[in-house]
């Protein structure tokens, strides 16, 4: 079986690039052809937002005799100004089986942006042969919303690190920093818990938002490291932390930051928005707070520390089901059933 995986790959600075590298390493006994963006280190590199995207894929399919195409999907990759027309056309025109991992699922369609994302999502579900989501609720939503049975859940994937968090009250917020991540809410939350240490690390999406973070934390004992964080630096940050806080305001995805935290056996405080809280709720590996509510976030942090070991037990349950080895096996099983059903 020969699988073409379409995604960003390292050294692209992107969380899904890291995800796809981990997936590729854990797909045993199948041949993987990596099809990446121009900046990716892959077997083939093409322009994802080109109107000839499907033609380039067809050339690779014929040259490599591929059995399946597996797309990693996030909207901005495939034509911000063409409403993802390149990937929609590719899914429609290409004849071999096509699987799409939806790293975002649009539960709500409020405002023009999310309505457009929902419209694109509908087209992708229509033309794909199988859909992968990262939570049960996401798969259930896709199947119910679009009157299909194509969607199934495969957990995002988690590393089996051996790490015992140090004693302390160290809070970490890590990742791509934007308005939707609720950074300012966490800075305000710390006013209710002044004896906790807080570090904010990651690259701000704009210079303006970077300044907003710096202004919000001015005259407060909060450490920031704003910019791209290497894997070595990230390891140091996670080993310093006792918990990871995800105070998101918009999160139609499963978070790579959440899975990094759980890899280090760090319980989390997440807000109940989008899909980011669903794994935490199912496996009881953290506390769920109200989105946009600094006091609720602070109370969630206090609650977690009162029963810290209980939430760490939930992490161990999740690791058994979501480690990368199991993730790879489930993907291969889906590839096999997809091939059989599409013959």
d(CA 307, CA 27): 37
Stretch 12-23: mean pLDDT: 90
CB atoms within 10 A of CB 320: 10
Among the listed residues 55, 3, 92, the one whose alpha carbon sits nearest the alpha carbon of residue 338: 3
For residues 62-73, average pLDDT: 97
pLDDT at residue 247 tops 80: yes
Render pLDDT for 286-330 as a digit per residue (tens, 0 to 9). Answer: 999 999 999 999 999 999 999 999 999 999 999 999 999 999 999
What pLDDT shows up at residue 253?
81
Determine the pLDDT at residue 109.
Answer: 78
Classify domain 170-321 by CATH number. Answer: 3.40.50.2000
pLDDT of residue 255: 87
What average pLDDT score do residues 192-217 get?
92
Task: Note the pTM of the prediction, 2 decimals.
Answer: 0.91
Percent of the chain topping pLDDT 70: 100
- For range 66-92, the mean pLDDT: 93
39 band by pLDDT with thresholds 50, 70 and 90? very high
| 182 has a pLDDT exceeding 80 | yes
pLDDT tier at 231, thresholds 50, 70, 90:
confident
- Close Cβ partners of 24 (under 8 Å, ≥ 6 residues apart): 5, 32, 34
Domain locations in the chain as residue ranges: 2-157+323-342, 170-321
Q: Is pLDDT larger for residue 162 or for residue 319?
A: 319
For 2-157+323-342, CATH number? 3.40.50.2000
Q: How large is the average pLDDT for residues 155-175?
A: 89
At residue 38, the pLDDT reads: 93
Secondary structure (3-state) at 44: strand
Q: How many residues does the chain have?
A: 343
- Alpha carbon distances (Å) from 62 to 15, 56, 96, 139, 259: 30, 10, 11, 32, 36
Residue 315 in tokens: 């992490």
User: Over the chain, what is the mean pLDDT?
Assistant: 93
Q: Alpha-carbon distance 198 to 217, whole Å?
A: 11
| Fold: same for 2-157+323-342 and 170-321 | yes
pLDDT of residue 129: 97
> Hunting for tokens 């979501």 — which residue is that?
322
pLDDT above 90 for 81: no
CB 15 within 8 A of CB 76: no
């Amino acid at each position: 079986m020969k699988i073409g995986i379409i995604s960003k790959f390292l050294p692209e600075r992107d969380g899904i690039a890291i995800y796809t590298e981990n997936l590729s390493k854990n797909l045993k006994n199948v041949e993987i052809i990596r099809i990446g963006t121009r900046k990716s280190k892959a077997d083939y590199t093409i322009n994802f937002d080109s109107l000839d995207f499907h033609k380039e894929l067809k050339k690779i399919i014929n040259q490599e005799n591929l059995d399946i195409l597996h797309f990693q999907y996030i909207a901005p990759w495939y034509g911000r100004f063409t409403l993802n027309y390149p990937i929609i056309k590719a899914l429609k025109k290409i004849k071999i089986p096509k699987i799409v991992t939806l790293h975002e699922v649009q539960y709500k369609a409020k405002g023009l942006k999310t309505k457009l994302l929902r419209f694109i999502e509908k087209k992708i579900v229509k033309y794909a042969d199988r859909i992968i989501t990262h939570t049960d609720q996401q798969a259930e939503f896709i199947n119910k919303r679009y009157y299909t049975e194509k969607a199934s859940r495969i957990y995002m994937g988690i590393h089996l690190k051996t790490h015992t968090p140090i004693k302390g009250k160290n809070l970490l917020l890590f990742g791509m920093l934007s308005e939707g991540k609720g950074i300012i809410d966490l800075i305000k939350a710390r006013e209710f818990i002044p004896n906790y240490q807080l570090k904010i690390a990651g690259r701000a999406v704009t210079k303006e938002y970077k300044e907003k973070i710096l202004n919000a934390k001015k005259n407060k004992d909060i450490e920031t490291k704003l910019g791209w964080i290497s894997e070595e630096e990230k390891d140091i940050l996670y080993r310093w932390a006792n918990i990871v806080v995800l105070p998101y305001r918009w999160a139609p995805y499963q978070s790579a930051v959440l899975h990094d935290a759980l890899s280090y056996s760090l319980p989390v405080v997440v807000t109940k928005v989008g899909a980011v809280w669903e794994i935490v709720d199912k496996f009881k590996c953290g506390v769920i707070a109200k989105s946009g509510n600094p006091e609720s976030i602070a109370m969630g942090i206090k609650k977690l520390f009162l029963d810290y070991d209980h939430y760490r037990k939930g992490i161990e349950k999740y690791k058994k089901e979501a480690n990368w080895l199991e993730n790879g096996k489930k993907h291969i099983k889906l590839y096999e059933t997809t091939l059989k059903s599409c013959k």
